[in-house]
Amino acid sequence: MSDRPGTAGNPLRVAIVGSGPAGFYAAEHLLRQDDAVVEVDIFDRLPTPFGLVRAGVAPDHPKIKSVIRVYEKTAARDGFRFFGNVEVGRHVSALELGERYHAVIYAYGSPTDRRLEIPGEDLEGSHPATAFVAWYNAHPDFAELDFDLSCERAIVIGNGNVATDLARMLALTREELEATDTAERAIDVLGSSKVREILVLGRRGPAQAAFTNPELRELGEMTDADVDVDPAEVALDDLSRAYLDSDEADITTRKNVEIFTEFSQRQPEGKRRRIVLRFLRSPVEIQGDGKVERLIVARNELYRDQSGAVRARDTGERETVECGLVFRSIGYKGTGLDGIPFDEGRGVICNQGGRVTEPGSDRPVAGHYAVGWIKRGPSGVIGTNKKDAQETVDNVLADLQAGRLDSEAADPAAVESWLVERAPEHVTYSGWEAIDRAEQERGKPLGRPRVKFVSIEEMLEAARSGYPVAS
């Protein structure tokens, strides 16, 4: 009989599905603690790790991307392995992982977008922000998309940080883009964009915008774009004013309203582009002959619903805005995985504090856990996942102590043999390091941090070649 899991003779073997921030923070918490010996295998469907830090964070935010250094330290810990280019749900199933590990933690985020559910949403020129973000970040699944930026006005729907990323990316100059790791194709398209106005529409008011302060402030600091806020729109309605005057008001909202007010007092400097922020407007129909030509917008007013939440409702007033592009930036959405209980309404895996639970009950599904966006929904910044991962890992360790993870696990070599069979082209962490070096090398002659590969085949080629470490 082998030792209980968590000892040197029988380490606790954990599979983590998804190598974004939540997956890496969970791995770090597991590998760092002293009470049990733990081994972690992280799986990712791409050959490259780091999830939205690589394929979501805007390329002009290299400081945010530098959090990768923290994840590299985790990857260097004993007991860590990475298996990229392995899709759970395709090459292997979640339940097969469950049979081979003492615990499986789902950390695969929210891979799709939410829809507006309005007529014309699928016209050419109407895009989910998620696709545009993935495209400019060289995500291989989106590399071939075409974005026609030959129109004068692009509209971004939504008042979250992804909307600010889009607005900035549409307003950056070619020179600014060339200093980043933006996909090459996207640099060409964005660099020759004819878009002069980026109109960002919020369905509620300035005091309900989901922007964080630095991201909002940046919209007023663009080299080649003026920011435009109508003073009449920052004159707050009674509900918002009462909220801001109360003790409940959070500091981010107060600061946002100050920033909007400051923007509204500016005179345009005659820059080439304008980022226009408008509030209390919801899209109701996208119109055009085969492609986006105009957006029909409803004017909203705010009201307090029965739960006390401030919501937008249609006043019946309409306006028509000519445009050639519409980006819906209204949030990401999670999807389920075969065999794992999923809450379709919330787009999250059914869980309690990260313990996967049977649908509609508190009963845990032994050995299965969730972390990050697929646990709590697509909210918060990168750092939010650290605390979130701590909670999930605490529950894994509590279950270990309570003897609830005593099933047999496959040893590391057996997992590797299984993967050779199921996903022969899987990429290990050293394979990723070779890809990383090759991308950085491609960037050097251009003075860019890296030139990303956009096809899986190119990535696999670099991984196989074991791109040499610079001497």
**Interacting residues with ligand NAP between 415 and 454 (CB under 6 A):** none
Q: Which is nearer to ligand NAP, 206 or 354 (CB)?
A: 206
Q: Using CB under 6 A, which of the segments 6-14, 100-108, 372-380, 423-431 binds ligand NAP? A: 372-380
**Cβ-based neighbours of 322, under 8 Å, separated by 6 or more:** 153, 293, 294
Q: Which is nearer to ligand NAP, 83 or 211 (CB)?
A: 211
**Gap between the Cα atoms of 134 and 153, Å rounded:** 22
**C-alpha pair distances (Å), 133 with each of 61, 127, 327, 348, 450:** 13, 10, 10, 22, 18
Residue choice 79, 336, 380, 412 for contact with ligand NAP (CB under 6 A) = 380
**Gap between the Cα atoms of 91 and 366, Å rounded:** 23
Q: Which is nearer to ligand NAP, 41 or 165 (CB)?
A: 165
From 23, 87, 39, 24, select the one nearest 369 (Cα to Cα).
23
Q: How far is the CB of 328 from ligand NAP (least distance, A)?
A: 8
Tokens of 141: 């699944």
Q: Which is nearer to ligand NAP, 212 or 390 (CB)?
A: 212
Binding mask 27-66 for ligand NAP (x = CB under 6 A): ----------------------------------------
Backbone φ, ψ for residue 158 (5° rounding): 125, 150
Q: How far is the CB of 223 from ligand NAP (least distance, A)?
A: 19
**Gap between the Cα atoms of 16 and 371, Å rounded:** 9
Cα-trace Rg, the chain:
24
**Gap between the Cα atoms of 348 and 371, Å rounded:** 10
Q: Tell me if 443 sits within 8 A of 129, measured CB to CB.
A: no
Counting every residue, how long is the chain? 471
Q: Which is nearer to ligand NAP, 161 or 173 (CB)?
A: 161
Q: How far is the CB of 56 from ligand NAP (least distance, A)?
A: 7
Task: Number of residues interacting with ligand NAP: please give it, by CB under 6 A.
Answer: 25
**Gap between the Cα atoms of 344 and 178, Å rounded:** 41
Q: How far is the CB of 245 from ligand NAP (least distance, A)?
A: 21
Q: How far is the CB of 39 from ligand NAP (least distance, A)?
A: 31
Q: Which is nearer to ligand NAP, 160 or 220 (CB)?
A: 160
From 12, 32, 36, 34, select the one nearest 24 (Cα to Cα).
32
**Gap between the Cα atoms of 152 and 161, Å rounded:** 23
Q: Which is nearer to ligand NAP, 230 or 441 (CB)?
A: 230
**Gap between the Cα atoms of 274 and 152, Å rounded:** 11
Q: Which is nearer to ligand NAP, 327 or 467 (CB)?
A: 327
> Does residue 282 interact with ligand NAP by CB under 6 A?
yes
From 12, 82, 74, select the one nearest 435 (Cα to Cα).
82
Q: Which is nearer to ligand NAP, 30 or 298 (CB)?
A: 298
**Within 76-160, where are the H helices?**
94-100, 129-136
Q: How far is the CB of 130 from ligand NAP (least distance, A)?
A: 8
**Gap between the Cα atoms of 446 and 438, Å rounded:** 14
Q: Which is nearer to ligand NAP, 46 or 57 (CB)?
A: 57
H or E stretch covering 286: strand 281-287
Residue choice 53, 210, 423, 456 for contact with ligand NAP (CB under 6 A) = 210
Residue choice 192, 379, 417, 430 for contact with ligand NAP (CB under 6 A) = 379
User: With 0-12 CB in 10 A as exposed, 13-18 as middle and 19+ as buried, what is 231?
Assistant: exposed
Residue choice 381, 398, 414, 446 for contact with ligand NAP (CB under 6 A) = 381
Binding mask 311-350 for ligand NAP (x = CB under 6 A): ------------------xxxx------------------
Q: Using CB under 6 A, which of the segments 245-253, 270-278, 352-360, 373-381 binds ligand NAP? A: 373-381
**Interacting residues with ligand NAP between 111 and 140 (CB under 6 A):** 116
Q: Which is nearer to ligand NAP, 46 or 216 (CB)?
A: 216
Binding mask 151-170 for ligand NAP (x = CB under 6 A): ------xxxxxxx-x-----
**Gap between the Cα atoms of 348 and 420, Å rounded:** 31
Residue choice 204, 375, 450, 452 for contact with ligand NAP (CB under 6 A) = 204
Q: Would you tell me which residues interact with ligand NAP (CB under 6 A)?
A: 116, 157-163, 165, 202-204, 208, 210, 212, 215, 282, 329-332, 378-381
